[in-house]
Structure 1
Amino acid sequence: MKFTVKDILEMEVILALGCTEPVAIALGGAAAATLLPEKEFDAIEIWIDPNIYKNGMAVIIPGTGGMQGLDTAAALGAYGGNPGRGLEVLESLDETTIAKAKALLDKNKVTVNLRDEVGLYVKTKLISGSNIAESLIIDLHNNIVSLKLNGEEITDSPFLTKSHSKGGKHTLADLETWLRELTLPDILELTADLDEDDLNFLEVGVNHNLALAEYGLKHGSGLGIGKAIDRLIKQKLMVKDMSSSARRLTSAAADARMGGANLPAMSSAGSGNHGLTAILPIWAIKDFIDHDRETILRAIGLSHIVTAYVKAHTGRLSAVCGCSIAAGAGATAGITYLVGGDVHHMEGAIKNILEDLAGVICDGAKAGCAIKLNTAAGAAVQAALFSLHGVNVKDTDGIIGNSTQKTIQNMGALSHDGMIQADKTILKIMLEKQMTKKNQQDAK
């Protein structure tokens, strides 16, 4: 089984409007709603895995004026989502559909059920009179594998996932199995296969993510980290260099995205924030070096491939921060490529950033993600520059292996085996906070 760089881009690099976890819930609701004669519902029920639950709890849903929540995402998708837009399903929201969603939520007619099993899972049931419509999404945020109306499987819906590859045989699991066998030199060879169409596609991703960064810098959305860095540089409390420029641009985009800006991000490996981290630090440093368009875009292509490679080991959703671990590794590889480093420098840079950020946890999607993207962007620049000057973490250190492949395999073991209890504890803390807030509101 062999994949091409086009397969990787097609499956792993996709436009997404809003955080992909609530978006997946909205997509499930929107797809199920297409089976019903009218978009009027008596109740909605969803069943989701712990990581979808964790990442969808606190993030603002774009185009809603600040609404958030898992139940909210389900209702908005069912009433106003366009499943034909995939991860941009909520692009079609309007005031009428938002009002309908709020009315159903006010009646407490949307029920969220948390599964014990890990692995991306979103099951939606819409009840409308005597009709029950269901959808099921697994593995990928936009992977609709089942649609049912009154218990009968619907097989001819255009919203059911068709294969991402020619011949209809390969799935994300196939791609990840293949990716896990690659070495860093193999990945670098794939970058050479990027043609002009691929480069144009990668440039589209740059433009979308730059639009988010510009929005964040202008409006100070979310935590306003990007705008704060701007002020600090103007006050001469920070210096404008490669690292601060990477942090400024990347965190500003995360500020906008986590703050609910109604602009899509070019995602990477299933996450918009991964896409911001995989693309923007590389773009930010270009003004400090001699560069040309093709080299920059090939560096970004390399970043996407490395991000997908790391995620194939660590899992789609986990207790470790993928923006720091996976996209951070991708970004530092791309930066190393852009400044003229070879495969050995890239290997050193990836080891450096994983030693630096391996312990960063994922505690859900929210405004605070911008701080983590700020850290990851700066660390990606630092790790690359250190490696260029021969500063590399030794193979004898901790989880670092004697190759990029072995290091990332170790990171995968840490993510899957070592962090299971951590993930449960993070979710427990978040649920307790949510319950305390609800009790306080009920007391009023």
Structure 2
Amino acid sequence: MLDADFCQVELAEGVDNLFIEIYMTSENHTARVIIEQSHTNLTYVERDGEVLHEHHSEVKAKSETCDMSFQSIYDFAQTGDISGAIPCLEQQITYNTAISAEGMGNNYGSNIGQLLLLDESNPSLELLCKARAAAGSDARMSGCPLPVVICSGSGNQGLTVSMPIITAAEQLGKSQEELYRALAFGNLLTLYIKSGIGKLSAYCGVVSAGVAGVAAVAFLKGDSQQIIEDTVSNGLANTSGIVCDGAKPSCAGKIAIAIDSGFMSYKQARLRKSYEKGDGIVCNSVDETIKSIGVIAREGMKQTDVVILNEMLKH
């Protein structure tokens, strides 16, 4: 359709990140539709000049921050009643494992998951975590119709946070209860980090999901709270700045990089080589570092988003 000059795409100026305005014409009719602030928030519908629907949502006024903290997430995952979340977590295990296996066994995108295991007869746990998460993205980004259980509104983030935890639980022989609690921890931590970044940003979402997934592996293994906190801070310091240029095959590569950085950050924490306050964007606490990342993503990368979109529209 693009080759046939079926449509034209332009970047809207002076609007929120999540904004889509569509003009359509046929031989006898015209239509105009606007979606903004939320993926399903239809705010304007017009046909042949007649306004059929107009609604200005209050979504814009809501804060992007949340009431969670690292401590509240950690405590809940350790001892809280997670029974209500188990059906969703079980679905995440089933669906995300299935699409990961599909990507690992078939030809999708750049086959990053398969490439990572090339010539590896006895892959390490770290390598398996990277490969299985990337393989799920390989399939998802290249048309596989299998479902994925998301996190932070993103299938790639759902795969990035869950597959390292699922893989580690299998390899280490952890119980179902331990797996559920680690998944609860990882998913909530991803949501917490992403809440300050916003729904759409030039900041790549798998960075937060990757470090959260590895932090949850540390949680699963029974490491101390301090090691887990340091893993998060180290990981955000290491890979924040990877840009989002849309959903496409190279997301799988970014997933592998994010998880790899997470494991390096975990090793730093275990060996007491973590970054200290004042080392770049590292703050006094993990919560402050997460808050700082949100500011950088929302404010510092706002113009980056515009530049990326304009470059993408050139081709």
TM normalised by structure 2 equals 0.87
Cross-structure match for 2:64: 176
Counting matched residue pairs gives: 311
Moved more, 127-136 or 200-209: 127-136
Deviations 1:233-283 (A, max 9, x none): 13xxxx511210111101111111122212222221122111111111111
Q: Does residue 1:110 correspond to 2:12, yes or no? A: no
After TM superposition, list the pairs within 5 Å mapping 1:67-146 onto structure 2. Answer: 102=1, 108-116=5-13, 117-127=15-25, 131-146=29-44
Q: Does residue 1:188 correspond to 2:96, yes or no? A: no
Answer yes or no: is the 8 Å Cα contact 1:206–1:279 preserved in 2: yes
How far apart are residue 383 of structure 1 and its match? 2.5
How far apart are residue 176 of structure 1 and its match? 3.4
Letter aligned with residue 5 of structure 2? N
Cross-structure match for 2:247: 365
Distance of aligned partners of 1:356 and 1:221 in 2 relative to their CA distance in 1, 3 Å threshold:
same
How far apart are residue 213 of structure 1 and its match? 1.0
Cross-structure match for 2:209: 327
Letter aligned with residue 154 of structure 2? S
Letter aligned with residue 359 of structure 1? G
Q: Does residue 1:199 correspond to 2:98, yes or no? A: no
Answer yes or no: is the 8 Å Cα contact 1:121–1:138 preserved in 2: yes
Cross-structure match for 1:313: 196
Moved more, 183-192 or 398-407: 183-192
Quote the Cα distance in structure 2 between the aligned partners of 1:145 and 1:334: 39
Quote the Cα distance in structure 1 between the aligned partners of 2:267 and 2:40: 37
Distance of aligned partners of 1:382 and 1:293 in 2 relative to their CA distance in 1, 3 Å threshold:
farther
After TM superposition, list the pairs within 5 Å mapping 1:226-265 onto structure 2. Answer: 226-234=113-121, 240-265=123-148
Quote the Cα distance in structure 2 between the aligned partners of 1:229 and 1:329: 19
Quote the Cα distance in structure 2 between the aligned partners of 1:309 and 1:106: 42
Deviations 1:342-363 (A, max 9, x none): 4322211101111111132223
Tell me the SS of whatever aligns to 1:233. Answer: coil
Moved more, 377-386 or 144-153: 144-153
Tell me the SS of whatever aligns to 1:296. Answer: helix
Answer yes or no: is the 8 Å Cα contact 2:151–2:157 preserved in 1: yes
RMSD of Structure 2 on Structure 1 (CA): 2.7
How far apart are residue 114 of structure 1 and its match? 1.6
How far apart are residue 174 of structure 1 and its match? 4.5
Answer yes or no: is the 8 Å Cα contact 1:176–1:309 preserved in 2: no
Cross-structure match for 1:416: 298
Cross-structure match for 2:102: 215
Tell me the SS of whatever aligns to 1:152. Answer: strand
Quote the Cα distance in structure 2 between the aligned partners of 1:248 and 1:233: 11
Answer yes or no: is the 8 Å Cα contact 2:82–2:181 preserved in 1: no
Tell me the SS of whatever aligns to 1:392. Answer: coil
Quote the Cα distance in structure 2 between the aligned partners of 1:334 and 1:146: 42
Deviations 1:4-23 (A, max 9, x none): xxxxxxxxxxxxxxxxxxxx
Letter aligned with residue 120 of structure 1? L
Cross-structure match for 1:275: 158
Distance of aligned partners of 1:368 and 1:206 in 2 relative to their CA distance in 1, 3 Å threshold:
same
Quote the Cα distance in structure 1 between the aligned partners of 2:189 and 2:137: 21
Letter aligned with residue 279 of structure 2? D
Distance of aligned partners of 1:111 and 1:353 in 2 relative to their CA distance in 1, 3 Å threshold:
same
Structure 2 residues without counterparts, runs of 5 or longer: none
How far apart are residue 339 of structure 1 and its match? 1.0
Deviations 1:39-70 (A, max 9, x none): xxxxxxxxxxxxxxxxxxxxxxxxxxxxxxxx
How far apart are residue 197 of structure 1 and its match? 3.6
Residue identity (%):
28
Deviations 1:306-365 (A, max 9, x none): 1121122122222221111x2123213311211112432221110111111113222332
Tell me the SS of whatever aligns to 1:228. Answer: helix
Tell me the SS of whatever aligns to 1:311. Answer: helix
Quote the Cα distance in structure 1 between the aligned partners of 2:223 and 2:178: 12
Letter aligned with residue 11 of structure 2? L
How far apart are residue 413 of structure 1 and its match? 2.1
Tell me the SS of whatever aligns to 2:34. Answer: strand
Tell me the SS of whatever aligns to 1:265. Answer: coil
Moved more, 213-222 or 326-335: 326-335
Tell me the SS of whatever aligns to 2:35. Answer: strand
Tell me the SS of whatever aligns to 2:9. Answer: strand
How far apart are residue 152 of structure 1 and its match? 3.2
Distance of aligned partners of 1:430 and 1:347 in 2 relative to their CA distance in 1, 3 Å threshold:
same
Cross-structure match for 2:238: 356
Answer yes or no: is the 8 Å Cα contact 1:122–1:137 preserved in 2: yes
Q: Does residue 1:382 correspond to 2:279, yes or no? A: no
Quote the Cα distance in structure 2 between the aligned partners of 1:112 and 1:397: 42
Distance of aligned partners of 1:334 and 1:171 in 2 relative to their CA distance in 1, 3 Å threshold:
farther
Distance of aligned partners of 1:119 and 1:193 in 2 relative to their CA distance in 1, 3 Å threshold:
farther
Cross-structure match for 1:167: none
Answer yes or no: is the 8 Å Cα contact 1:335–1:384 preserved in 2: no
Quote the Cα distance in structure 1 between the aligned partners of 2:173 and 2:146: 31
How far apart are residue 366 of structure 1 and its match? 1.9
